[in-house]
Amino acid sequence: MRSSILLLPGDGIGPEVVAAAASILRAVASRFGHQFDLPEAAIGGAALRRGLPPLPDEALAAARESSAILLGAVGDPAFDKGDSSRRPETALLAVRRELQLYANFRPARVWPGLEDSGPLKQSVVAGTDMLVLRELTGGLYYGEPRGIAADGASAHNTMRYSRHEIERIARRGFEAARTRRKHVMSVDKANVLETSRLWRQVVTNLAAEYPDVTVDHMYVDSCAMKIALAPASFDVILTENLFGDILSDEAGAIVGSLGLLPSASLGDGPGLFEPVHGSAPDIAGRNIANPIGAIGSVAMLLRHALALETEARAVEDAIGSVLRRGVRTADLVDRSEQRVGTREMAAEIEAALLAPAAAPRA
Ligand code: IPM
Ligand code: MN
């Protein structure tokens, strides 16, 4: 297969983890006989530093033309004081909106060997395998009106959801559940918010079309608590934009490190794949970032954008075999394990991918 995958490294640790992920894409191409073109474009702080807007037109045009997009991270403290037209994050929010990437899949599971890496007791975290499905183009992130009053004395945002927006993400949730353990936990704040009452109503109505899937509803505060108390009880968590942003960071922490989490943002056109972690400016450029979130995003890209399931599994197996051998980046290391940097971790995963049988077993 020949396809073009646009690389958007962005800011902070973004370029390091995208370089790692690109090496895995090249290894997949060589093992399975594909040809991947990997053009690159600057967005976020990287674009602002060149005097360009956060999302230059050429980058958006290239994104529209590609088979898939692999993004590192955006966010740069040098631009924190700017208004939204000069903030790196604007690039990501604009790509999501322009490509209508309304469905954000954030799977969080405990990798064998990492049961001890997170803050929870091994007995609590064992068996955790959830999918946070986050609505990505609506809610408070995009609702109008929004702004700061001229006198600076107040500010406002708008949370708005249409039936259509809720229904299309809920459908993705039911369909994802069918490929998993057939349970959807719809998360809202229906005791307070009208948008949440509509959310609950639409999800409940749609459930009739998926009799093989069980649905429950939970308030977001209670869900946040239950993720910490009984993470293994969740299958698909279906929720709106801001709640999903918050709960997916929590899910990352409990499975060992946010650096492990991959994501896929899908709409009707090309999908965008990125690690859930941010730009982490404090550790940027030091070869210590965990590339597994980005490499796991490569697996999701192969699966969801290119329909290459065997290749996707090969990447996930390679990650699993390296972790089983005790190879760890700084965010995961506890005692006796072998501590490696970003490039070394990527090289280990690449070696396991290229020589699966030869890779040493735990
Ligand atoms: C994420 C990030 C983004 C978000 C930021 C960088 C705009 O936190 O993808 O979770 O809030 O959606
Ligand atoms: Mn986030």
For the chain, report the end-to-end CA distance as a whole number of angstroms.
Answer: 34
* Phi, psi at 182, each rounded to 5°: 60, 35
Q: What is the mean pLDDT of residues 296-313?
A: 98
Give the ligand 1 atom nearest the CA of 89.
Answer: 7
359 pLDDT tier (thresholds 50, 70, 90): low
In 3-state terms, the chain is what percent helix, strand and coil (to 5)? 45, 15, 40
State yes or no: pLDDT of 161 exceeds 70: yes
Angle between helices 89-98 and 57-65 (to 10 degrees): 40
Smallest CA-to-CA distance from 38 within 21, 52, 60 is with: 21
> Quick check: helix, strand or coil at residue 53?
coil
Dist. CA 67–CA 103, nearest whole Å: 17
Where in the sequence numbering do the catalytic residues fall? 141, 189, 221, 245, 249
Give the binding-site residues of ligand 1, using a 6 Å CB cut-off: 75, 89, 92-93, 245, 278
For residue 335, name the pLDDT band (cuts at 50, 70, 90).
low
Where residue 356 falls among pLDDT bands split at 50, 70, 90? confident
Cβ atoms of 315 and 299 closer than 8 Å: yes
Structure token digits, residue 347: 């090289």
What confidence category does residue 83 fall into, taking pLDDT thresholds of 50, 70 and 90?
Answer: confident
Peptide bond into 53 cis (omega under 30): no
Strands (E), 128-193: 129-135, 147-148, 155-156, 183-188
Mutation pick for ligand 1 pocket among 245, 265, 273, 279 (CB with most ligand atoms within 8 Å): 245
Q: State how far Cα 278 lies from the chain centre.
A: 10
The reported pLDDT for the residue numbered 360 is: 54
**Does 203 or 359 have the greater pLDDT score?**
203
The pLDDT tens digits for 22-49 are: 999 999 999 999 999 999 999 999 999 9
> Token digits for 243?
């709640």
Q: How many residues does the structure list for the chain?
A: 362
Q: Rounded to whole angstroms, how far apart are CA atoms 174 and 10?
A: 33
CA-nearest of 1, 211, 315, 245 to 104 is 245
Ligand located closest to 90 CA: 1
Indicate the angle between helix axes 309-324 and 292-304, nearest 10 degrees. 160
| Separation of CA 281 and ligand 1 centre (Å) | 15
Note the pLDDT tens digit of each residue in 39-75. Answer: 999 999 999 999 999 999 999 999 999 999 999 999 9
Residue 285 makes CB contacts below 8 A (sequence gap 6+) with 16
Mean pLDDT, residues 212-233: 98
Mutate to test the pocket of ligand 1, among 89, 248, 272 (most ligand atoms within 8 A of CB): 89
* Residues 209-234, mean pLDDT to the nearest whole number: 98
| DSSP secondary structure code for residue 40 in this structure | B
